[in-house]
Chain A
């Protein structure tokens, strides 16, 4: 294998695959994907449920089928792949060190890199879950791997903490496999995953969701024997007297995802403390020139189709960067989250981007607003650049909007762009 590549992509989930395909299409000759697992596709391979592809293919597909489409396209276009290989570090000069059982210890040089490592799940320690430390406490994604990839059941009677999408999907999956899901507990007064998953995974299978409830204690020394649940007030304080012992042998945690950026940090990439991912511009380039990022490594998406779209943008950016002899100085205008908005990606827009293309913004709100809302993008003077209206706004669902090329002139003069959301 070669040691120099135009674009190297780290991770082969939907973001990485799309980035590789786009890099190749946009003129990068030598494109390499490094994947830590033994096959391409990332977490999609364990997502055997449907719900993928509605935006891109206008079709409802299971995760592995969705992945397969892009795997075939990538392999067919001459992209190189190394599997079962872990990247150990990346330097700001885009030197990559990786190791593998089959091909050994390797050092590679890339002209551009796309970070596509995805995200990891929050653990019990991060939510300060008290109790003993028996076997039988797993993150929902780890349980999903066991059931769907390895073919083993991690328990018989489950309590699921968190109404995130993976938790609800696993509630249904485990029920189909003959397990009993005793309860899904959610500390927030609202659902944190998609409503469609609540309907299809919990309601249709008669699984009880208790909002404003959490786990007070995990019982059992060797294996989980029960949990003690408790109702909480809006400040998450336990309500005395509401405790309930729920016998179970397994606790699944679906309490949030964190972009996986350990490699990014070592490469000098600066992270946004709110998203947990890199600060990126509208080409998904990080603060380190030539290092791009795509997908859940940037912020946690709710739909895979958007991850693919982000991968296309990052891959094209990486190819353009890699194939240019000299990098032009980029002029950015910062974009920030205003009223009601928790975060917005990208964090900055290349002033030249709007010359010929539309820039997509994606954001999450801080709290649910169950009435018609308007989202606006304005500059520091209050000049309106874009607006959009939605029937409601929920933290579990990303809001997407666009800034059109007709805002090109306004962006040239703007010092700052602010996105805010208002009740109508």
Chain B
């Protein structure tokens, strides 16, 4: 057997990648395994991209703790990792007196959780700040610490920074089972082989229940995927005041249909919240689109569906773990623990919203768990927390574009017309620390194919670039890994003999 690791992380979503990034500051040998062809392909790639202030979760829950401790960290993390982040603030909008009472409760809850600077603003003030808000507005809860992040970039950047600091990442490597020594977990089996380690961390997202059951932990814990559907509006037809984040007054079920801009400049509307049977069921339904559109209209009646350019669905890893704080009656809390039954295992589960917001805090809590378990975590003297940004052509001034093209002519060739993504940007991602080897991986990293034409122009060109750079035939280039090729065969090749 090859090298023995100190830590193996199962799952390359934002939580697993953030844990890898924070752990990489210590003198540890870390391996992250991800079942898909790329990191961040699950819940991390299909959510509202909101950094929550922390007023939603009930006081005493791990959700509240992780969210509130994480929120102030995002300025530094986004700077270090060169990820777009805007502390835009957010609003919960009430449209009735009843809902105003709910806002009052949320305000108190936020204060108890330790969320700073929140206040309830009048209907007039809300109209002033967002003129397109519904005329029915009764008032709003304003949370200045809420924000927006590039959810795709943050997962990639955290993983890259971990890799820069010595972490190994294996893609296309599903967890199969644990390796045991008595009651101690000492590694994992994968189709690529067995990997030994002193600690294994469960960051398997939607599949966290399966992983912990293999460890013999929490047999009653179950994840029920809760699907959220979204639509994206064209950025050229911007309707809202820039970077307004609007939530409706929440219900028991969810935070409701959000209307917000994204850091890419589009408007995103969603999600609804419907339980589905399969952990892969990202179907968008007609009914679902109607549901979220109706929700959006309640907040911004003038929103126009002719500007819709994309729809998608994501799955939340909704768990049934009870909150462990005495006196708090809540089911569906995060699990962040070292279970008593086994050794060498850190168990996470039920990391649904606010999971993205909480990911740095979760990483810090994992570090504390390791320390509590007696690990002496020695800092690396040469740890580099900075992951430099790569050039993004469309964000540059004409003068900067000109000098970039001069220095590297491949930045002069535009591959994606609607979003102005250049060949240089795509090549950089194919040869990055976590290489982008599929169309969707290029799309998430560069924003190629996300605009009005949805890849109609760039898709054949990107497939060609991937084929050339990876040295494999175009028929083997996929959208999202095995089983998702774009092309079947060459023309004229009917399978007969030449």
A residues near B, CB below 8 A?
A: 36, 84, 86, 88, 97, 99-105, 107, 120-121, 123-126, 128, 130-136, 138-139, 141-142, 145-147, 149-156, 177-178, 216-217, 221-223, 249, 258, 262, 265
Q: Are B420 and A88 in contact (CB under 8 A)?
A: yes
For A126, the chain B residues whose CB sits under 8 A away are: 308-309
Which residues of chain B in 440-498 are interfacial with respect to chain A, using CB atoms and an 8 Å cutoff? 452-457, 459-460, 464, 474-475, 478-492, 494
Q: Are B460 and A150 in contact (CB under 8 A)?
A: yes
Q: Are A221 and B413 in contact (CB under 8 A)?
A: no
Q: Are B413 and A100 in contact (CB under 8 A)?
A: yes
Question: Of B231, B280, B289, B488, which is within 8 A of A154 by CB?
Answer: B488
Q: Say how far A252's CB is from chain B's closest CB, in angstroms.
A: 12
13 contacts between A and B (CB under 8 A): A86-B413, A101-B413, A105-B405, A107-B398, A120-B453, A135-B486, A142-B455, A145-B460, A153-B487, A153-B488, A153-B491, A154-B486, A249-B488
Main SS class of interface, A: mixed
Q: Say how far A313's CB is from chain B's closest CB, in angstroms.
A: 26
Question: Of B285, B311, B406, B486, which is within 8 A of A125 by CB?
Answer: B311
Q: Are B483 and A125 in contact (CB under 8 A)?
A: no
The CA of A326 and the CA of B460, in the complex, are separated in Å by 46
For B289, the chain A residues whose CB sits under 8 A away are: 128, 130
For A142, the chain B residues whose CB sits under 8 A away are: 455-457, 459-460
The CA of A105 and the CA of B404, in the complex, are separated in Å by 9
Q: Say how far A222's CB is from chain B's closest CB, in angstroms.
A: 4
The CA of A170 and the CA of B138, in the complex, are separated in Å by 55
For B452, the chain A residues whose CB sits under 8 A away are: 120, 123, 258, 262
For B401, the chain A residues whose CB sits under 8 A away are: 88, 99, 105
Q: Chain A residue with minimal CB distance to B406?
A: A104
What is the size category of the interface that chain B forms with chain A?
A: 35 or more
A36-B417 contact given A105-B412, A141-B456, CB 8 Å threshold: yes
Q: B312 interface residue, CB < 8 Å from A?
A: yes
Main SS class of interface, B: mixed
Q: Are B491 and A132 in contact (CB under 8 A)?
A: no
Question: Of B231, B286, B484, which is within 8 A of A222 by CB?
Answer: B484
Q: Mark B360-393, 1 if CB is under 8 A from A, else 0.
A: 0000000000000000000000000000000000
B residues near A, CB below 8 A?
A: 231-232, 236, 280, 282-286, 288-289, 308-312, 398, 401-402, 405-406, 409-410, 412-414, 417-418, 420, 422-423, 452-457, 459-460, 464, 474-475, 478-492, 494
A150-B311 contact given A99-B401, A120-B457, A134-B484, CB 8 Å threshold: no
The CA of A107 and the CA of B405, in the complex, are separated in Å by 13
For A97, the chain B residues whose CB sits under 8 A away are: 398
For B410, the chain A residues whose CB sits under 8 A away are: 101
Q: Are A223 and B412 in contact (CB under 8 A)?
A: no
Q: Are B282 and A132 in contact (CB under 8 A)?
A: yes
Q: Are B412 and A100 in contact (CB under 8 A)?
A: yes
The CA of A102 and the CA of B423, in the complex, are separated in Å by 13
Q: Say how far A349's CB is from chain B's closest CB, in angstroms.
A: 29
Q: Say how far A396's CB is from chain B's closest CB, in angstroms.
A: 21
The CA of A88 and the CA of B423, in the complex, are separated in Å by 15
Q: Say how far B230's CB is from chain A's closest CB, in angstroms.
A: 11
Q: Are B479 and A134 in contact (CB under 8 A)?
A: yes
The CA of A138 and the CA of B453, in the complex, are separated in Å by 11
The CA of A214 and the CA of B489, in the complex, are separated in Å by 28
Q: Say how far A263's CB is from chain B's closest CB, in angstroms.
A: 10
The CA of A122 and the CA of B423, in the complex, are separated in Å by 25
Q: Are B480 and A135 in contact (CB under 8 A)?
A: yes
A223-B484 contact given A125-B308, A128-B308, A133-B312, CB 8 Å threshold: yes
For B409, the chain A residues whose CB sits under 8 A away are: 101-102, 104
A262-B489 contact given A100-B412, A141-B456, CB 8 Å threshold: no
For A139, the chain B residues whose CB sits under 8 A away are: 456
For B478, the chain A residues whose CB sits under 8 A away are: 135
For A151, the chain B residues whose CB sits under 8 A away are: 490-492
Q: Say how far A311's CB is from chain B's closest CB, in angstroms.
A: 21
Question: Of A131, A155, A156, A216, which is within 8 A of B284 by CB?
Answer: A131
Q: Chain B residue with minimal CB distance to A250?
A: B488
For B492, the chain A residues whose CB sits under 8 A away are: 151, 177
Q: Say how far A337's CB is from chain B's closest CB, in angstroms.
A: 19
The CA of A126 and the CA of B457, in the complex, are separated in Å by 16
Q: Chain B residue with minimal CB distance to A238?
A: B286
Q: Chain A residue with minimal CB distance to B418?
A: A262
The CA of A262 and the CA of B459, in the complex, are separated in Å by 19
For B398, the chain A residues whose CB sits under 8 A away are: 97, 105, 107
For A141, the chain B residues whose CB sits under 8 A away are: 456
Interface centre among B232, B312, B418, B485 (most CB of A within 10 A): B485
Q: Chain A residue with minimal CB distance to B400?
A: A105
Q: Say how far B394's CB is from chain A's closest CB, in angstroms.
A: 9
Question: Of B414, B482, B489, which is within 8 A of A152 by CB?
Answer: B489
Question: Of B412, B423, B484, B490, which is within 8 A of A153 by CB?
Answer: B490
The CA of A269 and the CA of B283, in the complex, are separated in Å by 39
The CA of A206 and the CA of B328, in the complex, are separated in Å by 67
For A155, the chain B residues whose CB sits under 8 A away are: 488
The CA of A402 and the CA of B154, in the complex, are separated in Å by 59
Interface centre among B308, B311, B414 (most CB of A within 10 A): B414
Q: Are A223 and B483 in contact (CB under 8 A)?
A: yes
New A-B pairs, 8, CB < 8 Å, besides A104-B405, A126-B308, A130-B289:
A107-B398, A120-B452, A123-B310, A135-B479, A136-B486, A153-B489, A154-B487, A222-B484
For B454, the chain A residues whose CB sits under 8 A away are: 123-125
The CA of A121 and the CA of B452, in the complex, are separated in Å by 9
Q: Say how far A172's CB is from chain B's closest CB, in angstroms.
A: 14
The CA of A258 and the CA of B464, in the complex, are separated in Å by 26
For A86, the chain B residues whose CB sits under 8 A away are: 413-414, 417, 420
Q: Are B284 and A135 in contact (CB under 8 A)?
A: no
The CA of A97 and the CA of B412, in the complex, are separated in Å by 12
